[in-house]
Chain A
């Protein structure tokens, strides 16, 4: 009796997915290069001779969100068409194997290809800029990104967030047979606004006067003279705050994948 999960069958499935879709992936890579190229051209033109590396990483983040969510949204596209859905759902592999195969291409293959494409375009663009700076340092400037402040310090969270958003779009692709990208975007935006409203209400309205939030801790302001009695800080033990912080950063993608797995099992064609 074939087990519900077989590593060798998963490898064969990944190989099958590649053989059947390699042309699509190749054209998608070319489109990605075009998108990144366009982003860099805009950066070069809009920088007005004062080039900031921070904007390169803004382009990286923007483009990975756009390209990654589109790719994720297309991943279960075969479920939107009856004949393709019969072909895909009726194929002798378990739902888990099929899902892992899709996750493999979305998370690992997409990330590697995206990073390589980005590095290729970035290397060319930065080399061009550095040539300009070397030729005329009075006119052209290139500022490196500050990883300790501003966008640089928040950069990692954008990347964690990307994988959560990508998993959300994968889930949307399983849930919605048609217009999945638009519906997922709409629902995601609505959830985001509800979450922000909740956070703002929580932050602004739920504490008595003289109290305020400081991350995961509550501060009580005793007086305005700096000193040891200025603030009383109430906080959860470090283990709890670290655990909550870890979960908030990394739990979303696995949660969405698990929900997608259950939804896939319920899918009917």
Chain B
């Protein structure tokens, strides 16, 4: 669905991507992680056709996003971190925007709004940031686009709303839809993401499905100094050490996405070597 090959992109002289390649398939929720300024939002905007590669290619549904053809735009919805909605009521917003998305489902939209407890009678500008974000998320999901891009979707959402968001996203996925979520709030989306992509230094540092990660790595608390010493990654916990070690037993356990991210960034070679072994 999304094929990125040898992507080079820069803002004037500041190089962001230096030969990034990535392939994203429908039916998955991708978590895109990375340090501040590594280009997560930039990658989303390249995929959405808002930015153009300097070199390399991006194909989404076999179309070039940069051409921004209506047939492409109808199948892509982006929920940016900083978003704009006009100062009109929700009803008018739906009336003037929904006809442009052939897959829009009014019943789904109303259901999501009810789930998020959004009042229908306020204008969009009268709502709080969190409320308007929920309206935008609800609308984006109800458009039923094949590709949904979300940049920090849980920013500004209260604790209850984050839980509602997870529930709604989990229910919205199907085999034809691809959802890409950029986030720093890994704890919010740990149980939702199917595949983890970590960007660093203009390239993909790590790209694996969650199931594969838990089959290859073990996340646990260790009180054994030797075990900690030989771990792929370790950090002090309240009691003992939280470590990541190769999953020798083959038993799938819990996953700590935040710790995995730190491990990839600090000991990427060690972690990747586990996956390189067959």
Residues on A facing B (Cβ under 8 Å): 1-4, 6, 9, 12, 15-16, 19-21, 23, 78, 81-87, 89-95, 97, 265, 268-269
CA distance A165 to B192 in the complex (A): 54
CA distance A95 to B69 in the complex (A): 8
Q: Which of B78, B82, B86 contacts A90 (CB 8 A)?
A: B78
Q: Which of A16, A94, A95, A268 contacts B97 (CB 8 A)?
A: A16
Q: Which of A81, A91, A269 contacts B51 (CB 8 A)?
A: A269
Give me 14 other A-B pairs in contact (C-beta within 8 A), A90-B48, A269-B45 excluded. Answer: A2-B69, A16-B96, A78-B84, A85-B50, A86-B83, A90-B68, A90-B73, A90-B78, A92-B74, A92-B101, A93-B70, A94-B69, A265-B68, A268-B51
CB contacts (< 8 Å) of B80 on chain A: these are: 83, 86
Residue in A closest to B52 when the chains form the complex, CB atoms: A268
B132 to chain A, nearest CB (A): 11
Q: Can you give 20 contacting A-B residue pairs, CB < 8 Å?
A: A1-B71, A2-B69, A2-B70, A2-B71, A6-B70, A12-B100, A19-B92, A20-B86, A23-B87, A83-B84, A86-B78, A87-B84, A90-B50, A91-B97, A91-B100, A92-B74, A94-B68, A95-B68, A265-B68, A268-B50
Q: Which of A86, A92, A95 contacts B84 (CB 8 A)?
A: A86
CB of B88 within 8 A of CB of A20, answer yes
CA distance A19 to B88 in the complex (A): 8
Is B277 an interface residue, CB under 8 A from the partner? no
Residue in A closest to B11 when the chains form the complex, CB atoms: A268
Is B14 an interface residue, CB under 8 A from the partner? no
CA distance A230 to B181 in the complex (A): 83
CB of B50 within 8 A of CB of A89, answer yes
CA distance A112 to B173 in the complex (A): 49
Please report the number of residue pairs spanning A and B whose Cβ atoms sit closer than 8 angstroms.
Answer: 78
CB contacts (< 8 Å) of B86 on chain A: these are: 20-21
CB of A9 within 8 A of CB of B70, answer yes
CA distance A129 to B278 in the complex (A): 95
Chain B at the A interface: mostly helix, strand, loop or mixed?
A: loop
Residue in A closest to B136 when the chains form the complex, CB atoms: A87
CB contacts (< 8 Å) of A94 on chain B: these are: 68-70
CA distance A6 to B102 in the complex (A): 14
Is B95 an interface residue, CB under 8 A from the partner? yes
Is B171 an interface residue, CB under 8 A from the partner? no
Residue in A closest to B82 when the chains form the complex, CB atoms: A83
CB contacts (< 8 Å) of B82 on chain A: these are: 82-83
CB contacts (< 8 Å) of B225 on chain A: these are: none
CB contacts (< 8 Å) of A97 on chain B: these are: 70
CB contacts (< 8 Å) of B101 on chain A: these are: 92
CA distance A83 to B100 in the complex (A): 20
B28 to chain A, nearest CB (A): 22
CA distance A269 to B92 in the complex (A): 26
Is B107 an interface residue, CB under 8 A from the partner? no
CB contacts (< 8 Å) of A87 on chain B: these are: 83-85
CB contacts (< 8 Å) of B51 on chain A: these are: 268-269
